[in-house]
Structure 1
Amino acid sequence: MASLLRRRPRPHPLPAGVPSHLLCRFSALPQVDHPPPTSAPTSTTPASTRASVLDLQLAVRGEADPARIHSLVAGALSNPSEYPRLHASRPLFSLAASRLARLRRPDLAASLLHTLLASAPPSAGLLARAISLFPGPEDALRAFSDSAPSARSDVSLSALLSALLRAGRVEEIKSTVASAESSFGFAPGRASHNVLLHALVKNSELAAARKLLAEMSSKKLKHRAAPDIVSYNTVLAGYSAQGYEQGFEKLLKEINVKKLEPNVVTYNCRIHWFAKKGETFKGEELLDVMESKHVAPNYLTYNALVQGYCKEGNAGAAMRVFKRMKVMKRREGRSDLGVSAHSQTYVVLFRSLVEKERLDDALWVCKSCFAMKAAPPFEAVKGLVEGLVKGGRSAEAKDVVAKMNFLVKGDAKVAWEKIVGELSLEEGTPSSKP
């Protein structure tokens, strides 16, 4: 079986259980807004403290014993004179919690985060950050329930609801929002309602999500916060995933009427919609609109266009968009910050180029994969090699095979060697394939 490119994970995690053919569309669903992370010690913090926190972070990164990781950080929390405001170092606790989870000690991760909350003055920001790092919803619920009333707010509640959403506990999200005012003494705001919208969409309850969005817009109920573009994007992405054209178009008009400023997620939803309808060229036109509106496209923008064109059999247009993505500069003006494609984009584009016998483009994409030390799909590589040999380019074909031989490891090597055995790398030499 052909290997897949191994690339960095998506910046925006997808809801669990989403079918593979809906990944692109659901990846447009926005994450719940959380407060900006409190940074590590700044230039106003003594240099010795900054060095100590950095040393601690490096020690955690290099430690393989989960008990030792817990001891290092918990010990630092118990020594505030040496580590003042250590609780404000989100990178350290994020690293420690993720390391402990990967080492299969979520209990130690939870214990460390509870220690963090007990060691610092109660605040909504700290509570929200800690809740977002708990490995399971039960500890998140306990942290919220045990917190001081002053730390409970829409920010920390939305973090709790997000933890429940990751666990798939949609009904509990509904009941928590409904009872928040009587249970916690404050009405849930926009951030919490946006998590509820996300939960309803994820649970395929689009009618309920649309009703909630209308209630938020009407402002008839005092505890319904006015929706923002994130609220609309969430439902819009749900309509796109379900192929509900009437609801999709009506919601776009409502966004325009309310004069909400579309962001990259809004444009991505529209581009996915056009690609799904076989009108990817209309989606590409939105790139120019985004540029005129100073909305920077991201990898999802280009992925949708490339895959849409490939699905339509237009490999040339797909390659044009792909190259446009590679040279795109971010708004900060730094030329080294282009947009990276997702691994599946490389796979789809490479296969499409080989199928259409666009060998030069296919070879360019193949070499790009090699530069990332990733092996493209075996069958597509086989097609490329055969096309190169047929075109009198055996030297290039041999180079591709040699690089694949170097890259492919482990169990996949057996499958690749079988492919190689079926190839003829000399012009005019019959293939060994039966």
Structure 2
Amino acid sequence: MASLLLRRRHAAHPRAASARLLRAFSALPDVDPSASSTPTPTPAAPTSARAPELDLQLAVRAETDPARIHSLVASALSGHGLPRLHTSRQLFSLATSRLIRLRRPDLAASLLNLLLASAPPSPGLLARALSLFPGPDDALRAFSSSPPAARSDVSLSALLSALLRAGRLDDLKSTFSSAESSLGVAPGRASHNVLLHALVKNSDLTAARKLLDEMANKKLKHRPAPDIISYNTVLAGYSAQDGAEGFEKILKEIDDSKLEPNVVTYNCRIQWFSKKCDTFKGEELLDVMESKEVAPNYLTYNALVQGYCNEGNVGAAMRVFKRMKVMKRREGRSDLGVSAHSQTYVVLFRSLVEKEKLDDALWICKSCFAMKAAPPFEAVKGLVEGLVKAGRSTEAKDVVAKMELLVKGDAKPAWEKIVGELSFEEGVPISNP
């Protein structure tokens, strides 16, 4: 179901791929407006200035010829109609992702190089461009050829992140080590955090712990002081490897250093409790988060729902799931709040069916239908059989009918096989009601 849910979600939101790219660099600093020779627009200007940019985005989205996409954006960059086009994250994220999907990474790299050449040097702009390059070699060339004014710890961390995404850990380490001598940038906290993440991802927790200790050692001036991201990275590593002693030590160091835990810190702790079949303690942390105004995300709720389901406590899992829904409604805006991950629906639905919690299982099933997603076939079969056994044949037929509308393509024969095994107690087939 996870793949079906994700497929449906992507189909319903064609901008999902570019949105992921935007999220990847949305936390990086904006381009410094003072670096541009263009005067700051008056408050009334954004509406009129944004219209041609929106038209350009729509044209890029509709275009299927990669050369034409490149030409559209390149012409706009070289023209004077949109003097601050280089600040548009959405446009360049969209254009490069489209070119990469159309198998023209060379044109994507060319467009990003034109972007960097058309704007005043800025660490923020360079960092955002580096996050969009199709390959780490393109990113490295762009960084190496950039003016000194654009090089900083922020842009260096973006380069290291490009190497990390490509799985080139050795190149990442060598670039980090030689950054000051060969690139003119001394790695700061952001770059150290990328290296920490790379070490943890490579399961080299010993090296990550050593680096974190050096960062926390005030006598080592070449190491920046760690922040909560530094500690969270190593904390997640200990959680993944079930390192209880290291996990507790990191939590104590966070407390001793007076750093404020964020959502990642709490998620690590909640996931830890859930894995140890002590999910109730994890849910208590959810209350702590709310009291400290730390907003939970989907990972928070996923850990709690899956933890309770693994413990066989589907009632508590359903309570957490509904609590998440209430929170989203309370925000009052569709772009805020928390949405369940597809895997949450899968785990919860299966557990509810196994425990014969028909009303809740039916509610989850209908929620999937509302998202145009087909739940796991075997779990649906169990729900239908449970409804028939409880004398709720009409609802069982409705579930089957909606599944018939949703299941398409290669999955159709597997579903038809399930339907062929279903029947009423009286022997009347459920299919084709």
TM-score normalised by L of structure 1: 0.90
Tell me the distance in 2 between the aligned counterparts of 1:2 and 1:169: 29
SS at match of 1:325: helix
Question: Post-superposition shift, 1:430?
Answer: 7.6
Alignment of 1:159-170 (within 5 A): 159-170=158-169
Alignment of 1:353-372 (within 5 A): 353-372=352-371
Tell me the distance in 1 between the aligned counterparts of 2:330 and 2:200: 32
Tell me the distance in 1 between the aligned counterparts of 2:125 and 2:25: 16
Tell me the distance in 2 between the aligned counterparts of 1:360 and 1:332: 27
Contact 2:25–2:131 (8 Å) recurs in 1:
no
Match in the other structure for 1:384:
383
SS at match of 1:262: coil
Question: Post-superposition shift, 1:338?
Answer: 3.1
Question: Post-superposition shift, 1:219?
Answer: 2.5
Contact 1:307–1:318 (8 Å) recurs in 2:
yes
Contact 2:2–2:346 (8 Å) recurs in 1:
no
In the TM superposition, what whole-angstrom CA distance separates every residue of 1:316-368 from its partner, at most 9, and x where no partner exists? Answer: 11111111111114896648733111001100000000000001100000000
Q: Which structure is higher in RCO with an 8 Å CA cutoff and minimum separation 6?
A: 1
Contact 2:31–2:122 (8 Å) recurs in 1:
no
Counterpart of 1:52, as a letter, is P
Alignment of 1:34-183 (within 5 A): 34-37=27-30, 43=43, 45=45, 47-79=47-79, 81-183=80-182
Counterpart of 1:60, as a letter, is V
Q: Classify 1:211/1:5 alpha carbon distance in 2 versus 1 (closer, same or farther; 3 Å).
A: same
Tell me the distance in 1 between the aligned counterparts of 2:296 and 2:176: 34
In the TM superposition, what whole-angstrom CA distance separates every residue of 1:289-324 from its partner, at most 9, and x where no partner exists? Answer: 101111011100000000011111111111111111
Q: Classify 1:160/1:265 alpha carbon distance in 2 versus 1 (closer, same or farther; 3 Å).
A: same
SS at match of 1:147: coil
Question: Post-superposition shift, 1:36?
Answer: 3.6
Counterpart of 1:325, as a letter, is M
Q: Does 1:291 align with 2:272?
A: no
Counterpart of 1:35, as a letter, is L
Tell me the distance in 2 between the aligned counterparts of 1:403 and 1:317: 28
Alignment of 1:414-429 (within 5 A): 414-424=413-423, 426-429=424-427
Tell me the distance in 2 between the aligned counterparts of 1:47 and 1:2: 40
Does 216-225 or 128-137 show the bigger shift? 216-225
Question: Post-superposition shift, 1:2?
Answer: 9.6
Contact 1:96–1:109 (8 Å) recurs in 2:
yes
Q: Classify 1:342/1:319 alpha carbon distance in 2 versus 1 (closer, same or farther; 3 Å).
A: same
Tell me the distance in 1 between the aligned counterparts of 2:352 and 2:331: 33
Contact 1:32–1:162 (8 Å) recurs in 2:
no
Q: Classify 1:212/1:351 alpha carbon distance in 2 versus 1 (closer, same or farther; 3 Å).
A: same
SS at match of 2:121: coil
Tell me the distance in 2 between the aligned counterparts of 1:384 and 1:367: 12
Match in the other structure for 1:186:
185
Q: Percent identity?
A: 79
Tell me the distance in 1 between the aligned counterparts of 2:207 and 2:132: 29
Question: Post-superposition shift, 1:184?
Answer: 2.3
Counterpart of 2:131, as a letter, is S
Match in the other structure for 1:260:
259
Contact 2:269–2:282 (8 Å) recurs in 1:
yes
Tell me the distance in 1 between the aligned counterparts of 2:93 and 2:336: 25
Question: Post-superposition shift, 1:252?
Answer: 0.3
Q: Classify 1:331/1:353 alpha carbon distance in 2 versus 1 (closer, same or farther; 3 Å).
A: closer
Tell me the distance in 2 between the aligned counterparts of 1:50 and 1:32: 21
Contact 2:32–2:122 (8 Å) recurs in 1:
no
Structure 2: runs of 5+ lacking an equivalent: 11-15, 18-22, 34-39
Tell me the distance in 2 between the aligned counterparts of 1:417 and 1:299: 33
Q: Classify 1:332/1:408 alpha carbon distance in 2 versus 1 (closer, same or farther; 3 Å).
A: closer
Question: Post-superposition shift, 1:378?
Answer: 0.3
Q: Classify 1:59/1:336 alpha carbon distance in 2 versus 1 (closer, same or farther; 3 Å).
A: closer
Q: Classify 1:47/1:340 alpha carbon distance in 2 versus 1 (closer, same or farther; 3 Å).
A: closer
In the TM superposition, what whole-angstrom CA distance separates every residue of 1:194-222 from its partner, at most 9, and x where no partner exists? Answer: 00000000000101001100101112222
Contact 2:30–2:125 (8 Å) recurs in 1:
no
Does 233-242 or 179-188 show the bigger shift? 179-188
Contact 1:197–1:234 (8 Å) recurs in 2:
yes
TM-score normalised by L of structure 2: 0.90
Question: Post-superposition shift, 1:33?
Answer: 8.6
Question: Post-superposition shift, 1:149?
Answer: 1.0
Match in the other structure for 1:21:
none
Counting helix residues as a fraction of each chain, which structure ranks higher?
2
Question: Post-superposition shift, 1:37?
Answer: 4.4
Counterpart of 2:28, as a letter, is P
Structural RMSD (CA): 2.4
Tell me the distance in 2 between the aligned counterparts of 1:319 and 1:171: 45
Structure 1: runs of 5+ lacking an equivalent: 14-29
Match in the other structure for 1:322:
321
Tell me the distance in 2 between the aligned counterparts of 1:65 and 1:231: 43
Question: Post-superposition shift, 1:90?
Answer: 1.2
Tell me the distance in 2 between the aligned counterparts of 1:366 and 1:393: 15
